[in-house]
Every structure is written in structure tokens, then in C-alpha cells.
Amino acid sequence: MNKGTECVRKILEDHGIPYTCQRGEILSLFIAEPKHYKPNEVFRLLKDKGIGIATVYRTLEILRECGIIIEISAGRDVFYRMKKPESNCIYAHFLCDVCGKIYDCLDSGAAKKCSDFFDLLENSMDMTIKDVNITIKGLCNECKNKEGG
């Protein structure tokens, strides 16, 4: 077993999921190229390895349930991507209305302000926020420039 496989197996087992080749292949995809995947994209990339669409859906669900990947709903589409341990709580995504691309919003200043906002909310409403999933919609930089010029 090579090092990559060993690492994937460890992630799965740390989350209480028994390792199977198919789960390993799907998780490896997310690790090898960290981006947002639609289920049918995962299927398309892995169908040569004999992984069916039903297995893709089932595996994504298992990985999401145990917190290895997160699900992002954007309009009619659902995307998945690795959960980033360093940004434990707040995920903001920008969805372009025109080209449909998804961008991570990675502004640490804005994240700090957001996190202050949730702290306030937790205190004033006496509740615990465990996960925040924000989708911001609009016009991305590329499309904005196309439209302007």
C-alpha cells in the first residue's frame, strides 16, 4: 500500500469509517485536487475505476455525515469539498450568477468580522453555532469585467 492510500485510510478510520477501495478513490480525488465537486463530476472522473453513481452518492453522504467533506447547495446544484480544519466554523462561498463558478471567500478580515457577528448572536440568543454555510451570489470578477468592457 502506498503512502497516499495509507493517509486516506487513516482519515477514514479516524472518522470511524471502514476503508474500502471505492471510498479511498473518492476521498483521494478531494485530496489530490481540492476543489468543489458535483456528484456527477466525481462519477465521471472515477467511472473508469468501476465506481457507479449510486456508490458516489452513498459515499459522499457518508463522508459528509462524519465531517470529512462539506456539502454546499448553490441554486439547484449541490457541490462537495473537503472541510478545511483551519477554518473550523465559517464557510463562505461566492456563486456567480452568470458563469456558475464557485469561489471560496478567503478574506481573513471579513472572516474575523463574521465570526464576531456569530459570537454576538450566540451570546444574545444563548445558543451554540456549530457550522455556518454562507452562499453569496452575484457577478464574479471575470464576468464583471466582460460586462463592463
Nearer to Zn ion, 67 or 138 (CB): 138
Place of cell 444563548: 126
Nearest approach in angstroms of CB 105 to Zn ion is 15
Q: Is 129 in the site for Zn ion (CB under 5 A)?
A: no
**Minimum CB–partner distance for residue 103 and Zn ion (Å):** 9
69, 39 Cβ separation under 8 angstroms? no
Closer CB to Zn ion, residue 11 or residue 96? 96
Residue 96 binds Zn ion (CB under 5 A): yes
According to the binding rule CB under 5 A, does residue 46 interact with Zn ion? Answer: no
Regarding 140 and contact with Zn ion (CB under 5 A), the answer is: yes
* Angstrom distance (rounded) from CA 4 to CA 36: 21
Q: How many residues bind Zn ion (CB under 5 A)?
A: 5
H-helix segments, 18-81: 21-32, 39-46, 53-65
Are 80 and 72 within 8 A, CB to CB? Answer: yes
Q: Is 99 in the site for Zn ion (CB under 5 A)?
A: yes
Q: Residue 67's Cα: distance from chain center in Å?
A: 10
136 binds Zn ion (CB under 5 A): no
Applying CB under 5 A, does 98 fall inside the site for Zn ion? yes
For 37-54, give one letter per residue: b (16+ CB within 10 A) or e: bebeebbebbeeeebeee
The distance of closest approach from Cβ of residue 89 to Zn ion in the complex, given in angstroms and rounded to an integer, is 27
120 near Zn ion, judged by CB under 5 A: no
Positions in the binding site for Zn ion (CB under 5 A)? 96, 98-99, 140, 143
